[in-house]
């Protein structure tokens, strides 16, 4: 099976690339060639820029694939480029959407592909993903474009310390703050339900979808079945770092008043309980079982960082912002 990954070296896709190569899939990665250290053995790099349609077409000239997966399409314009490039040149096109596209707030906390609508008034990112899905389903219905949609939820790996609040560019900041005994903000009361999925578990479900003709025209989420409260998630991060974190609970609305950019990630995603029914992916890929509990996965992550001291950097601006919010909350003040 010949499979093209557009991207293929990101946090989620690198685990999928590794497993696909291990299973003997002939894997091609189409990207700018800047992250060769994350390319699995046996994969072939096609150097190009998918955002430059003409040069991408030239780089891909003469290729046909059983499956094309775009890991870095975020808008309908991106997806339309893929449709134009790969119509008639692949048997399956997989779009990476997002579980944040599901209804916010949810009418029922258990999410299924069949019964949970797509609607997110809080996050443009999610609305763009929904628009991409709609475009693909229209192309499938009207022209037979062989689209499959996959919706990851919060998926992490070695290089990410996942939380509702952390520095994106310096993820070690959260663990460092915990070890210093500084207060750690948890949105809400810490009791809403959430699902964390290790990228190696996601990969097992995803690779099972490759080449599945019965998946054409369908959407799937792929997550762990482990359900945790946010307090449990932060406690597990602390335990992996060897400390008991000092948790401070602050409402999402208060946090957003200090940083309006948090509205998408909180009200549009992590502040809403999210429990996923994975029956649909398991019916198609019976071997899919998530086997990495968060306590184990986050310990791997902490160990990975500690083995690379150069990656254990802290974001001082993020730390200052946390301190300011906590001080304001403690004093009963709210930014106007």
| 3 state DSSP class of 59 | helix
Q: What is the largest CA-CA distance in the chain?
A: 65
Residue whose tokens read 């944040």: 100
Task: Give the per-residue pLDDT at 8.
Answer: 87
Task: Give the per-residue pLDDT at 335.
Answer: 54
Task: Give the per-residue pLDDT at 332.
Answer: 80
Backbone angles phi, psi at 149, to 5 degrees: -115, 135
Q: Rg (Cα) of the chain, in Å, rounded?
A: 20
Contact at 8 Å (CB) between 156 and 184? Answer: no
Q: Among 177, 196, 181, 5, which residue's Cα sits nearest to residue 99?
A: 196
Q: Among 145, 153, 150, which residue's Cα sits nearest to residue 73?
A: 150
Task: Give the per-residue pLDDT at 41.
Answer: 85
Left (φ > 0), alpha (ψ -120 to 50) or beta: where does 62 sit?
Answer: left
Residue whose tokens read 């399409």: 73
The whole-angstrom separation of Cα 174 and Cα 240 is: 12
Contact at 8 Å (CB) between 31 and 45? Answer: yes
- Give 324's contacts (C-beta < 8 A, 6+ positions apart): 258
The whole-angstrom separation of Cα 112 and Cα 132 is: 19
Task: Give the per-residue pLDDT at 316.
Answer: 97
Spans in the chain with pLDDT lower than 70: 35-37, 333-336
The predicted model scores a pTM of 0.95
Contact at 8 Å (CB) between 199 and 156? Answer: yes
The whole-angstrom separation of Cα 291 and Cα 310 is: 30
**DSSP at 104:** S
Task: Give the per-residue pLDDT at 42.
Answer: 85
């Amino acid at each position: 099976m010949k499979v093209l990954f557009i991207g293929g070296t990101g946090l989620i896709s690198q685990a999928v690339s590794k497993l696909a190569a291990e299973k003997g899939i002939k894997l091609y990665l189409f990207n700018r060639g800047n992250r060769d250290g994350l390319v699995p053995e046996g994969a072939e790099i096609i150097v190009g820029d998918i955002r430059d349609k003409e040069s991408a077409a030239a780089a891909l000239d003469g290729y046909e694939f059983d499956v094309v997966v775009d890991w870095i399409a975020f808008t309908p314009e991106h997806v339309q480029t893929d449709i134009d490039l790969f119509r008639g040149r692949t048997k399956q096109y997989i779009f990476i959407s997002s579980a944040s596209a599901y209804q916010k707030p949810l009418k029922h906390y258990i999410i299924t592909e069949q019964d949970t609508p797509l609607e997110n008034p809080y996050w443009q990112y999610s609305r763009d993903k929904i628009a991409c899905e709609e475009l693909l389903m229209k192309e499938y219905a009207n022209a037979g474009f062989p689209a499959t949609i996959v919706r990851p939820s919060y998926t992490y790996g070695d290089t990410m310390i996942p939380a509702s609040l952390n520095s994106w560019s310096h993820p070690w900041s959260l663990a460092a703050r915990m070890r210093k005994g500084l207060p750690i903000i948890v949105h809400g009361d810490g009791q809403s339900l959430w699902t964390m999925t290790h990228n190696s578990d996601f990969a097992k479900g995803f690779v099972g979808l490759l080449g599945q003709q019965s998946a054409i025209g369908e959407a799937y989420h792929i997550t762990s079945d482990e359900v945790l409260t946010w307090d449990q998630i932060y406690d597990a991060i602390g335990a992996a770092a060897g400390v008991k974190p000092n948790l401070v609970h602050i409402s999402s609305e208060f946090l957003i008043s200090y940083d309006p950019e948090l509205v998408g990630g909180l009200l549009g995603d992590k502040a809403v309980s999210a429990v996923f029914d994975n029956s649909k992916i398991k019916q198609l890929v019976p071997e899919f079982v998530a086997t990495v509990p968060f306590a184990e996965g986050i310990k791997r992550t902490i160990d990975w960082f500690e083995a690379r001291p150069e990656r254990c950097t802290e974001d001082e601006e993020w730390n200052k912002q946390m301190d300011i919010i906590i001080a304001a909350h403690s004093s009963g003040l709210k930014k106007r």
